Structure 1
Amino acid sequence: MRILGLDVGTKTIGVAISDPLGWTAQGIETMRRSRLETDLEQLRELVDKWEVEAIVIGMPRNMNGTYGPKSEIIRAFGQQLADKVQRPIHYWDERLTTVAAQKTLLQGDVSRAKRKQVVDKLAAVLILQNYLDGHRRP
Structure 2
Amino acid sequence: MTDMDSQPLSRTLAIDIGDAFVGLAMTDRLGVTIEPLFTLRRTRLKDDVKNIARLVRKHEITEIVAGLPLNMDGTEGKRALVSREFAEAVAQATGIAVVCFDERLTTREAHERLNQAGYGTQNRKEVLDQVAAVVLLESYLAEKAYRAARETPPVV
TM-score normalised according to structure 2 size: 0.85
Work out whether residues 25 and 125 of structure 1, in 8 Å CA contact, stay in contact via their aligned partners in 2: yes
CA distance in structure 2 between the aligned counterparts of 1:87 and 1:39, rounded to whole angstroms: 16
1:3 aligns with 12
Q: Which letter does structure 2 place at the counterpart of 1:68?
A: G
State the Cα distance separating 1:59 from its structure 2 match.
0.3
Structure 2 unmatched ranges of 5 or more: 1-9, 150-156
Q: Residues 76-129 of structure 1: CA distance to partner in whole angstroms, max 9, x if unpaired?
A: 111111111100110111001001101111121111014223000000000011
Work out whether residues 23 and 133 of structure 1, in 8 Å CA contact, stay in contact via their aligned partners in 2: no
2:118 aligns with 109
1:85 aligns with 94
How large is the RMSD of aligned CA atoms in angstroms? 1.1
Q: Specify which of 29, 34, 41 is matched with residue 25 of structure 1.
A: 34
Q: Which letter does structure 2 place at the counterpart of 1:135?
A: K
Query: Residue 95 of structure 1 aligns to a residue in which SS?
Result: coil
TM-score normalised according to structure 1 size: 0.95
**Number of aligned residues:** 138
Q: Specify which of 34, 49, 53 is matched with residue 40 of structure 1.
A: 49
Runs of 4+ off more than 4 Å: none
Q: Which has the higher contact order (CA 8 A, sep 6+)?
A: 1
Query: Residue 113 of structure 1 aligns to a residue in which SS?
Result: coil
Query: Residue 114 of structure 2 aligns to a residue in which SS?
Result: helix
2:21 aligns with 12
Look at both structures and tell me which one has the larger radius of gyration over its CA atoms. Answer: 2
Q: Specify which of 113, 117, 135 is matched with residue 126 of structure 1.
A: 135
Query: Residue 36 of structure 2 aligns to a residue in which SS?
Result: strand
Identity of aligned residues (%): 37
CA distance in structure 1 between the aligned counterparts of 2:54 and 2:76, rounded to whole angstroms: 30
CA distance in structure 2 between the aligned counterparts of 1:68 and 1:116, rounded to whole angstroms: 23
Work out whether residues 23 and 132 of structure 1, in 8 Å CA contact, stay in contact via their aligned partners in 2: no
2:64 aligns with 55
